[in-house]
Structure 1
Amino acid sequence: MRPGRLNLMTAGRGISHSEETPTVNSGVLQGVQLWVALPDAARARPPAFAHHADLPVFTAGGLRATVIMSELGDAVSPATTFSPLTSAEITAAAGAEGVVPLRADFEYAVLTLDGAAMIDGQELKPGPLLYVGEGRTSLRIAAGPATRVLLLGGEPSTESLVMWWNFVARTHEEVLEARAAWESGSLFGEVHGYEGPPLPAPPMPITRLVPRGRIR
């Protein structure tokens, strides 16, 4: 991986992977890992992996947006998606600003990675995720110092999920089945070239796992 690139892993019905730092490295690692729950119609699909080294760029005023998933403005990412969503890394020099087009049927959030951004007049420093809601057609972003933010958006989900350890399911029973399959090595495959045993799944909690929707 290098800055501005995308590794996209689609777990589907089950996948194993290893994340390792090269032996020769700078000692600094900066990146963002996002989990996207597959919609029910796609979650049993075969697992897949793709590396995208050349992502499209959209500019708006003093903003430069590298489109990670789906599209922003006239820039369309080559990455495969299974639900309506978008994400982009937006950079701006000190004092620069611009207006990013949005879809009114999506909900959006912004995360500042470096610097400090003004999001529609509200300051956002690194740390919290700012939810900016849905029904918008644009978003003004301005930089104080040189700034880098992550824009996330998508169609509001209507499904309820159970997320536990590395499993995303719909019911407690599905998590039990996935854990048993992981421990037995019967479903998730093997990472060839990795030196070491598979990571064991932790014990199940003593209480039943309850599905949660987007609104609690």
Structure 2
Amino acid sequence: MSSFEADPEVGLTAPAAMELLEGAPVALGGPRGFAVTRTLPNRRRRMVGAWCFLDAYGPHDLGDSEGMRVGPHPHTGLQTVTWLLAGEVLHRDSLGNLQEIRPGRLNLMTAGRGISHSEETPREHSPVLHGVQLWVALPHAARDQPPSFAHHADLPVVHIGGAGAKGVEAAEVGGAGGSGAAFGGGVGESRSGVTATVLMGTFAGATSPARCYTPLVGAELALAPSAQVELPLRPDFEYALLALDGAPSVDDATLKPGPLLYLGAGRTSVTVATESSSRLLLLGGQPFEERLVMWWNFVARDHDEIVQMRADWADHTPRFGEVRGYDGPPLPAPPMPISRLVPRSRVR
């Protein structure tokens, strides 16, 4: 996905130990482009762990729409993480990969020193599109590696039991679509609580096969009706939660789709509950202390690096390769700002 940065506005408040970060509406591809809500980077916080970018979209009715069409564009210094709840997205990249993404399957593209890709709704598609795209900042030691791509169709699933059951003692772990070895609590009890699909990192004893370069976690949490569960957290991680659908409560604060709820660090658990079925996205990681320059689709360390990246894309150098098969032109880079870009920390 391509970043058309708008400055998010912060609106609603949350309990004292948490921050509610309001998202900004952004149209990908221009004023009439595909609508998303961007909660990272935010006016208050730029990152959660190494997670540095979060766009949520849908559910969009694609009845009279061509859906998503994001032409070839470049990336550096990051990983793109695509996760769908409904619909399909067709990914093409300059390494020659062609992959249709569907719900429950993870697309992970590691840009390294440079890659380009396109994203679009395929011609044959479901009537609704709903999903998220995230970026993970690569640490200095990994940011100039060769680009790569991975598609993970089988992710680990962990079931955490309902009221009266806590953490991994009430968890059952298995691959997507399969059953696993129980840590405690029976299958019936697990179904009354939370089913977590682990996208990246480790959560409640289940570890994703997706490669990480910093300690982090990403998981989709599906809450059954009337669920109330205490989720295990790492105190050295900072965390945030995004409601994907429904109206779950987090430590008695009701969360609806749109804003990102920042939980902070130092927690060993958090309680989530819901009256009707709902889904949450859990993000976490050790605080990322490197100072970054994020501009357009690039993550770098200083202004001059950004200037060179933009020039390499505009001049069609081999750095970003070529995306073949997309029916449309590549996206042009926006003009550079008048002032020099300054490296920023994770908190504004």
Amino acid at match of 1:67: V
Provide the C-alpha distance between the structure 1 equivalents of 2:212 and 2:324, rounded to a whole number of angstroms. 27
Other-structure match for 1:150: 281
Instruction: Tell me the alpha carbon deviations over residues 143-187 of structure 1, each in whole angstroms, 9 at most, x when there is no partner.
Output: 122110000000001111111111111111110000001111211
Contact 1:116–1:123 (Cα < 8 Å) also in 2: yes
Instruction: Give the drift of 1:87.
Output: 0.6
| 2:322 matches 1:190 | yes
| 2:344 matches 1:212 | yes
Other-structure match for 2:153: 53
Q: TM-score normalised to the size of structure 1?
A: 0.97
Provide the C-alpha distance between the structure 2 equivalents of 1:150 and 1:121, rounded to a whole number of angstroms. 17
Q: Secondary structure at the match of 2:108?
A: strand
One of 242, 249, 265 as aligned partner of 1:134: 265
Amino acid at match of 1:108: Y
Provide the C-alpha distance between the structure 2 equivalents of 1:92 and 1:106, rounded to a whole number of angstroms. 23
Provide the C-alpha distance between the structure 2 equivalents of 1:55 and 1:15, rounded to a whole number of angstroms. 25
Provide the C-alpha distance between the structure 2 equivalents of 1:27 and 1:209, rounded to a whole number of angstroms. 42
One of 22, 26, 38 as aligned partner of 2:122: 22
| 2:298 matches 1:167 | yes
| 2:213 matches 1:82 | yes
Instruction: Give the drift of 1:197.
Output: 2.6
Provide the C-alpha distance between the structure 2 equivalents of 1:159 and 1:172, rounded to a whole number of angstroms. 15
The 4+ residue runs of structure 1 with deviation greater than 6 A are none
Other-structure match for 1:200: 332
Instruction: Give the drift of 1:77.
Output: 0.3
Amino acid at match of 1:13: R
Q: Secondary structure at the match of 1:16?
A: strand
Q: TM-score normalised to the size of structure 2?
A: 0.61
Instruction: Tell me the alpha carbon deviations over residues 95-132 of structure 1, each in whole angstroms, 9 at most, x when there is no partner.
Output: 11212111111000000010011111211111110011
Superposition map of 1:57-76 within 5 A = 57-61=157-161, 62-76=193-207
Higher strand share: 2
| 2:241 matches 1:110 | yes
Structure 1 unpaired stretches of 5+: none
